[in-house]
Amino acid sequence: MQPLHFTLLQISLGIGLVFAVLLTGHILRQRRNPAATLAWVLFMVTLPLLAVPAYLTFGTRKLRPRTPRQAHTITQTGDTPIDRLLNTAGTPPLRSGNQLTWHGDGAAAWSALMQTLDQAQHTLDVMLFLLHDDAAGRAFIHALEARAQTGVKVRLLLDGVGAFLLRRRVVARLRRAGVDVVWFIPLLHRPFRARSNLRNHRKLVIADHHFAWLGGRNVADEYFAAEAVWTDLSFSLQGPAILDLARLYEEDWAFATRRPALQPSISPHPAGHAQVQVIASGPDLARDVLHEALVTLCFAAQRRIVLATPYFVPDDSLQQALCLAARRGVAVTLLLPAHSNHRLADVARGRYLRELSAAGVRVRLTRPGMLHVKAWLIDGDAVAGSANLDLRSLFLNYELMCRIRGEAEIAWLTHWLDALDTRADDAPTRPVSALRELLEGLVLLTAFQL
């Protein structure tokens, strides 16, 4: 029996080696951070029996595009660097005639969410990363059931990891009420397709292709709590930009159900004066559109850059863009929570914040509570939505941001971010110990997972 065992071991090692060589080629072909590429290659070389299944589960960063995307003609809204960049990425144009209402606190956000659900008479399309079985979650679920039972076609798209802990009896109850529930890349379904690392982080509710609710909030108690506990930002939208949101939802639904994407046959009427551009990013796009857009806006900025994010783990190009903007006289402010709900992300950000402060960036840590806002204010452009300023959001997740132009909308966001600044302190700039720098470096090895 010993020779047989030895032969099986040799065969296993040989198969593992072949897979490791093939996957190393795949790693080198995918465009990713050099440090991440090196880490995967070293993992394959040193521990192939562990690295092969790990890469087959988590390794993919880009998928084949779901549908062909054609560049849009640049419209009368402008021919700036950011317009040209987003046009070449196939992003829908900046659309005029929208009404946008910000939700600056949890009570306003919850009221707007319930109003959006109540307004649905025919269709209700919901996409969430997190849905908790708590007071807010149960009220939301009850509202979905009530709309479905009145004859509204309700679709609920949940991320396979973000909503993994939602009890299956809750999902079963929704389905019995007539809600069509679908999981986006379920965690335990076909794990060796290398997609388990790709998460849908978008938050979107569309009623009758006429009203939309979106931004950084999921549905759980903390997202609608008082500012002393949790500060977040979402907004309601009406107008022509709804068409682009509806198309995006259909693409995500088609991907999750493995069916052809439907094209919404709608023509939303003008409802206000704001210009809105829907910017989606994710592994189904050849380029990292949100990252490209942010870096372009930072390099083009002349007066101000204000970035609010719960987590800050940038790549080198974004870090350099912010440092150079500050050095050439742009007023750059970065708003972060003093302590986020992810301790490792707080550790990883340390070296970046010290470098930014040395370059002249105002790094401000808000207190009390958790800052979960995802918003950029760069000269005349506001951008808000679901994306954090970390490597996972900018390079791995499916994210949804809106570029917003409008005097009233920009004024509101400016005032609101200024109010956040008033309850913030400057980030410490003193040197840290060698042990702390070592810890930061070790945590950054897992930065794509933070």
User: Per the domain annotation, does 63 fall within a domain?
Assistant: no
67 found inside a domain: no
124 and 210 within one domain: yes
One domain, residues 324 and 383 = yes
pTM for the full predicted model: 0.87
| CB 366 within 8 Å of CB 335 | yes
Nearest to 312 by CA among 392, 425, 388: 388
CATH at 390: 3.30.870.10
Nearest to 61 by CA among 88, 26, 18: 26
Residue 399 lies in a domain: yes
Contact 365, 425 (CB under 8 A): yes
pLDDT of residue 436: 86
> Could you list the residue range(s) of the whole structural domain that residue 230 is in?
100-272
Q: Is 337 exposed, middle or buried (0-12, 13-18, 19+ CB in 10 A)?
A: buried
Tell me: do 247 and 373 sit in the same domain: no
Q: Give the per-residue pLDDT at 75.
A: 46
Helical segments of 47-105, H only: 48-58, 81-88
- In this structure, the answer to whether residues 349 and 428 fall within a common structural domain is yes
Cα-based angle 441, 443, 444 (whole degrees, multiple of 5): 65
144 located within any domain:
yes
Asked if 235 and 184 sit in the same domain, the reply is: yes
Same domain, 227 and 333: no
DSSP class per residue in 287-337:
S-HHHHHHHHHHHH-SSEEEEE-S-EE--HHHHHHHHHHHHTT-EEEEEEE
How close are the terminal C-alpha atoms of the chain, in Å? 47
Q: Per the domain annotation, does 86 fall within a domain?
A: no
CB atoms within 10 A of CB 73: 7
Q: At what angle do helices 34-46 and 2-29 cross, to 10 degrees?
A: 170
Structural domain contains residue 282: no
360 with 221, same domain? no
Q: Are residues 436 and 328 in the same domain?
A: yes
Secondary structure (DSSP) of 109-157: HHHHHHHHHHH-SSEEEEEES-B-SSHHHHHHHHHHHHHHHTT-EEEEE
**Same structural domain for residues 52 and 117?**
no
Query: Which pLDDT score, from 0 to 100, does residue 145 have?
Result: 97
52 and 179 housed in the same domain: no
Per-residue model confidence (pLDDT) at position 71: 41
The domain total for the chain is: 3
> Is the distance from CB of 311 to CB of 390 less than 8 angstroms?
yes
Whether residue 387 sits in one domain with residue 317: yes
Of the candidates 63, 62, 64, 56, the residue with the CA atom closest to the CA atom of residue 40? 56
The pLDDT tens digits along the chain (450 residues) read 455 555 655 565 566 566 666 666 666 666 666 666 766 677 766 777 676 666 666 666 667 665 544 444 444 456 899 999 999 999 999 999 999 999 999 999 999 999 999 999 999 999 999 999 999 999 999 999 999 999 999 999 999 888 877 888 999 999 999 999 999 988 766 555 556 678 999 999 999 999 999 999 999 999 998 877 899 999 999 999 999 999 999 999 999 998 888 888 777 889 999 999 999 999 888 899 999 999 999 999 999 999 999 999 999 999 999 999 999 999 999 999 999 999 999 999 999 999 999 999 999 999 989 999 999 999 999 999 999 999 999 998 999 999 999 999 999 999 999 999 999 999 998 888 888 888 888 887 766 654
Task: Give the domain-ending residue among 245, 272, 299.
Answer: 272
Q: Does residue 301 share a domain with residue 234?
A: no
